[in-house]
């Protein structure tokens, strides 16, 4: 079918010749309320709480999102997970009160018993009606006086505030009878439940893995994680490999068998798209002096976003840039010996350095250490893929002319992407011994040598883009030579 198709490959040996989309995160988890059939973009903890509610003891999603924003994140998508038998509470408004025809059905926006805290009041004034919504006994929305059932329904469904709590459906033309505040799920009304306990019975956590599919390719690059469980790490890697994203993985609390767990994930196809972090971290709560232990996903995602937005996808979110602003401690004190062991096992340690919590590793889980030792390598490739895909979309259905106009346009756009990446240091330029530039760290080709007439007749135009991603220095070795009093100090 028509469209853009981009593939990536590894080149061995030398070559001849602010808010970045990549900084965003994707979180799958449990929440107090909110929709469970769509991915929702949030740009602050306040926005998250408006849609998904506050902290609940059975979930890590809320503190993970809070940590993400506190540590430098700017935007993330949320996929709420519920059980297979989840239901949403409803209220039926009647013409003439109880026993009359149903005229409006109000359905809570998302499954769960959270809707018990919602109340609906119908206020009458002459021939007009006003529907008021209360949450936790506070008025959060009112339709205002309307003269028809359709106007009441439209007011609710078009309101950005009301739609976070409920959706309305017109059943008949009759206007609802005036009534005192009535709770969702009370009396004869349909109750709601999130059925979340069924997810823990399923030891493969398929509901969490299935929710990843809500993050389709239209959302672009970023990092994906599931703070609720490490059981879907392999699914995260598969997703990241499919959608050109990065999987942020963690282990169980007080994990044992770290080496075996890392080896298992490294064997997954697409492991260059994944990074594993250890241990869990402590974050503050609303109670002074009381901390909460959570998986490191939100911390890693927040520092990744900070690095991408400040510098670019090639900037490691480790070391000084990862110094914690919100995270207060770590579950396990990782010393240098343990840190070296973790690094050898492709695990990124979170350590206390200079009295601050820092991420002290930038390794991917890939066994191909020559090409994908660092997670920033795949992050950079993902950014190029994403930009190239977006840029090429404008050229779909362009006419292929004999003078090579389309070829030039494609080469120009790909070159522009690479020049921008080179300018911020993401691509590694090659120079000879005399300081002469060999190549700029990339090469672009779109010409007749790779586009035959027969191929063009079938509607396919091919381009080739080669890039050399800049490495990073995660080890600094210094040799100190002592000179005696009668010798010249030199090295």
Q: Angle at Cα 197 formed by Cα 291 and Cα 33, nearest 5°? A: 65
What is the C-alpha to C-alpha distance for residues 440 and 490, in angstroms, rounded to an integer?
A: 36
Q: What is the pLDDT of residue 480?
A: 76
Q: What is the dihedral of CA 146, 149, 154, 159, to 10 degrees?
A: 60
What is the C-alpha to C-alpha distance for residues 174 and 128, in angstroms, rounded to an integer?
A: 12
pLDDT > 70: percent of the chain = 93
Which of 83-97, 183-197, 225-239, 323-337 is least confident?
Answer: 183-197
Q: What is the pLDDT of residue 484?
A: 81
**What does the domain layout of the chain look like in residue ranges?**
21-82+197-372, 90-183
In the block, which residue shows the tokens 């020559």? 370
Q: What is the pLDDT of residue 189?
A: 53
Beta-carbon contacts of residue 281 (< 8 Å; ≥ 6 apart)? 67, 293, 294, 295, 296, 299, 324, 327, 328, 329, 330, 331, 350, 357
Q: For residue 121, is pLDDT > 50?
A: yes
Q: What is the pLDDT of residue 57?
A: 93
Residue-averaged pLDDT of the chain: 90
- The helices-and-strands tally (H runs, E runs) of the chain is 13, 22
What is the C-alpha to C-alpha distance for residues 269 and 224, in angstroms, rounded to an integer?
A: 16
What is the C-alpha to C-alpha distance for residues 384 and 448, in angstroms, rounded to an integer?
A: 24
- The two beta strands, 291-294 and 281-284, are antiparallel
Domain 90-183 has CATH 3.40.47.10: no
Q: For residue 344, is pLDDT > 70?
A: yes
Give the mean pLDDT of 196-222: 88
pLDDT digits (tens, 9 = 90+) for 238-297: 999 999 999 999 999 988 899 999 999 999 999 999 999 999 999 999 888 889 999 999
Within 373-442, residue ranges assigned H as helices are 375-393, 405-423
Give domain 21-82+197-372's CATH architecture. 3-Layer(aba) Sandwich (3.40)
Q: Confidence band (pLDDT; 50, 70, 90) for 12?
A: very low
DSSP state of 322: G
């Amino acid at each position: 079918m028509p469209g853009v198709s981009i593939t990536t490959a590894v080149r061995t040996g030398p070559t001849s010749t602010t808010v970045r989309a990549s900084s965003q995160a994707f979180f799958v988890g449990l929440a107090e309320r909110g929709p469970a059939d769509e991915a929702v973009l949030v740009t602050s903890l306040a926005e998250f709480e408006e849609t998904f509610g506050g902290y609940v003891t059975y979930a890590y999603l809320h503190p993970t999102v809070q940590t993400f924003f506190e540590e430098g994140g700017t935007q993330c998508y949320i996929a709420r997970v519920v059980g297979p038998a989840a239901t949403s509470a409803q209220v039926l408004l009647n013409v003439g009160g109880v026993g009359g025809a149903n005229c409006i059905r109000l359905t809570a926006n998302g499954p769960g018993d959270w809707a018990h805290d919602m109340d609906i009041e119908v206020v009458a004034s002459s021939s007009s009606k006003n529907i008021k919504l209360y949450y936790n006994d506070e008025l959060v929305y009112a339709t205002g006086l309307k003269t028809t059932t359709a106007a009441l329904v439209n007011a609710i469904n078009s309101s950005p505030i009301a739609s976070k709590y409920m959706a309305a459906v017109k059943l008949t033309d009759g206007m609802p009878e005036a009534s005192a505040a009535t709770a969702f799920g009370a009396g004869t009304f349909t109750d709601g439940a999130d059925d979340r306990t069924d997810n823990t019975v399923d030891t493969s956590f398929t509901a969490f893995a299935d929710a990843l599919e809500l993050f389709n390719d239209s959302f672009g690059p970023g990092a994906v994680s599931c703070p609720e469980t490490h059981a879907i790490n392999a699914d995260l890697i598969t997703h990241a490999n499919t959608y050109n994203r990065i999987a942020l993985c963690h282990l169980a609390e007080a994990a044992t068998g770290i080496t075996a767990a890392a080896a298992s994930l490294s064997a997954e196809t697409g492991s260059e798209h994944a990074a594993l972090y250890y241990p869990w971290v402590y974050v503050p709560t609303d109670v002074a002096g009381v901390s909460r232990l959570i998986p490191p996903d939100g911390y890693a995602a927040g520092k990744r976003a900070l690095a991408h937005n400040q510098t670019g996808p090639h900037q490691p979110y480790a070391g000084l840039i990862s110094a914690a602003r919100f995270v207060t401690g770590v579950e396990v004190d990782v010393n240098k010996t343990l840190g070296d062991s973790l690094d050898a096992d492709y695990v990124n340690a979170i350590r206390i350095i200079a009295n601050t919590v820092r991420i002290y590793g930038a390794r991917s889980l890939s066994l191909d250490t020559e090409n994908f030792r660092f997670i920033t390598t795949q992050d950079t490739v993902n950014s190029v893929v994403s930009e190239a895909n977006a840029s090429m979309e404008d050229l779909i259905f362009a006419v292929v002319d004999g003078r090579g106009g389309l070829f030039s346009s494609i080469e120009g756009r790909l070159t522009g992407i690479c020049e921008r990446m080179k300018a911020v240091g993401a691509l590694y330029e090659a120079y000879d011994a005399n300081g002469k530039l060999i190549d700029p760290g990339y090469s672009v080709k779109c010409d007749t040598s790779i586009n035959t007439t027969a191929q063009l007749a079938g509607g396919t135009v091919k381009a080739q883009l080669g890039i050399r991603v800049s490495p990073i220095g995660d080890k600094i070795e210094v040799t100190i030579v002592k000179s005696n009093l009668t010798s010249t100090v030199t090295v």
